[in-house]
Amino acid sequence: MTDTPAPTGRQAILRAARRAFALHPYAEVTLRGIAADAEVSASLIVKLFGTKEELFARTTDFSADADELLDAPLDGLGRHLVLTLVRTRRQRRTDPLLRVVFALGTEDERTLLRDRFREQVTTRLAALLPGDDPLLRAELVVGQLLGLGAAASIHREDGAIGEASPERLADLYAPGLQRLLDGA
């Protein structure tokens, strides 16, 4: 496995904020706590993201991750999804989708996160799919991607998933996704 570069201040802040908002209700999260976790100053967070509310909105936004995940022609999208998910996890040391599953905030916060995820990832993917049951197939594809992310989190670098190249994982995992995407 190759060494991953240290995150930039912006990346470190987003990672720390996602972790904080996933593990604690909004009211318990502070910019100082996020700053300490990210090893930056609270003033840098304010400079880059504004208020805690704006940072929360940014951490519950999946649109940039969806742009990256869905940036391929339909006939190769299954492979692209796997490669992008695995490479993103390894480069950023965070999963672009999995935070929707583990959020522990209030019910309103979890609902907001799920609604944004559904709109920005699942519904957007469904709009790309031809044939019958596009939303059902999109939900199944997303479920499989979440499963891959969860398995990669469990096994990290010391398991076969962590040791396998992104290409090998795509060789094994993408054909099933592609069948769902194609509607076959």
pLDDT tens digits, one per residue of 97-125: 877 776 666 677 778 888 989 999 999 99
What is the number of helices (H) and of strands (E) in the chain? 12, 0
DSSP codes joined into one string, 9-76: HHHHHHHHHHHHHHHS-GGG--HHHHHHHHTS-HHHHHHHH-SHHHHHHHHT--HHHHHHHT-S-GGG
Q: How far is residue 34's CA from residue 13's CA, in Å, rounded to a whole number?
A: 7
**Are the CB atoms for 48 and 13 separated by under 8 Å?**
yes
Structure tokens that stand for 106 in this block: 């209030």
Q: What is the DSSP letter of 121?
A: I
- Measured at the CA of 76, the angle between CA 75 and CA 79, to 5 degrees, comes to 145
> Mean pLDDT, to the nearest integer, of 13-25?
83
**Among residues of the chain, what percentage have pLDDT more than 70?**
93
**Are the CB atoms for 76 and 38 separated by under 8 Å?**
no
Q: How far is residue 5's CA from residue 92's CA, in Å, rounded to a whole number?
A: 8
State the average pLDDT for the chain.
88
From the list 16, 43, 6, 128, the residue with the least C-alpha distance to 77 is: 128
Residue 6 has pLDDT above 60, yes or no: no
Count CB-CB contacts under 10 A for residue 118. Answer: 18
**Are the CB atoms for 89 and 95 separated by under 8 Å?**
yes
Q: What is the pLDDT of residues 34-73, one digit of tens each?
A: 999 999 999 999 999 999 888 988 888 889 889 999 999 9
